[in-house]
Amino acid sequence: MSDYNLQKTIPALERSLAFFRPHHLELRNRLVKVMAAIVTCSVVAYIFIEQIAQLFISPLIAANPLVGKLVYTNLPEAFVTYIKLALIIGLLASFPVILYQLWLFVAPGLRKNEKRLAVTVVFWSSILFAGGASFAFLVVLPKMLIYFTSYANEGLEPLPKLGLYLTFVARMILTFGISFQIPFLMVMSGKANLVTASYFRSKRIYFYMAIVFLSFLLAAGDFMATALLALPLFALYEVGIFLSSLFNRKKEQTSEA
């Protein structure tokens, strides 16, 4: 490269770096706050980790009287499992903070009406996430455990491992927390004129295939667990189509009036 071209390139790079530097600093500040929230919630969760673990184990004990306790076969397994569980609980508890920091990072580039829409998304997304997590723990998990432990008998004693079981419960809670936002996100995409209800209807088969594939991954290859995860997601997708069509119809009637 000649000296003349180099002299023109360096100032251009400096201007580009100067343009992106404020955004880089803003992103770093938001990430620091997100990490601080996750760490703080994880530390608080670890303080009460024994109570949290007992809360997660109680549905398993109630599902079958033959399941009297959990086991671990590796000496550090219990300690590592509690650390992982505390991190997952910290991530779940800090979900509203993560959404809020994301909104603060994006908000300066949005118009006033778009900012109000973002606040609505953050609020209802957090509510639906908590609702999905509660539904998974209080409704779906007990039924799944009753089915999975129904094979146990006096000659076949279940000895679930501590780490695998707690990971299974945490993964299910996270999955349903995210999946319960599907109808709301579909409605919001329609209100933002991004996607219509007819698009979701026409692409139903592809979304169903994606749901099955995602459920298979989250269920770690267990076909029964995959079915139990996929069926509620199918129902939520259909609810999202109905609500998206309903709200879009109201929007069209308002526009005509």
pLDDT of residue 230: 81
Average pLDDT over residues 83-87: 89
pLDDT band per the 50, 70, 90 thresholds, residue 192:
low
Average pLDDT over residues 133-150: 83
Task: State how many domains the chain has.
Answer: 1
List, in sequence order, the alpha helices (H) in the chain: 3-47, 49-63, 77-93, 95-106, 112-135, 141-148, 162-179, 182-191, 197-202, 204-218, 223-256
What is the rounded average pLDDT for all residues in the chain?
A: 76
Average pLDDT over residues 88-104: 82
CA–CA distance, 141 with 173 (Å, rounded to integer): 9
pLDDT of residue 226: 75
Q: Which residues of 149-171 are buried (b: 16+ CB within 10 A; e: fewer)?
A: beebeeeeebebbbbebbbbbbb
Give domain status of residue 89, yes or no: yes
Give domain status of residue 85, yes or no: yes
**Structural domain boundaries enclosing 69:** 3-180
pLDDT of residue 211: 84
pLDDT of residue 19: 44
pLDDT band per the 50, 70, 90 thresholds, residue 235:
confident
Q: Which of 67-71, 179-183, 184-188 has the lowest mean pLDDT?
A: 184-188
pTM for the whole thing? 0.69
Amino acid at 5: N
Average pLDDT over residues 209-236: 76
Does residue 13 have a pLDDT over 60?
no
pLDDT of residue 233: 81
pLDDT per position as a tens digit, 40-73: 999 999 999 989 988 888 888 888 777 767 888 8
Give domain status of residue 211, yes or no: no
Instruction: State the greatest distance between any 2 C-alpha atoms of the chain, in Å, as a whole number.
Output: 86
pLDDT band per the 50, 70, 90 thresholds, residue 152:
confident
pLDDT band per the 50, 70, 90 thresholds, residue 5:
very low
Give domain status of residue 188, yes or no: no
- Closest Cα to residue 168, out of 204, 140, 128? 140
CA–CA distance, 60 with 55 (Å, rounded to integer): 10
Give domain status of residue 88, yes or no: yes
Give domain status of residue 54, yes or no: yes
Does residue 12 have a pLDDT over 60?
no
pLDDT of residue 40: 93
Give domain status of residue 66, yes or no: yes
pLDDT band per the 50, 70, 90 thresholds, residue 16:
very low
CA–CA distance, 197 with 32 (Å, rounded to integer): 38
Give domain status of residue 162, yes or no: yes
Using a pLDDT cut of 70, give the percent of the chain over it: 75
pLDDT per position as a tens digit, 72-83: 888 888 888 889
pLDDT of residue 8: 46
pLDDT of residue 47: 92
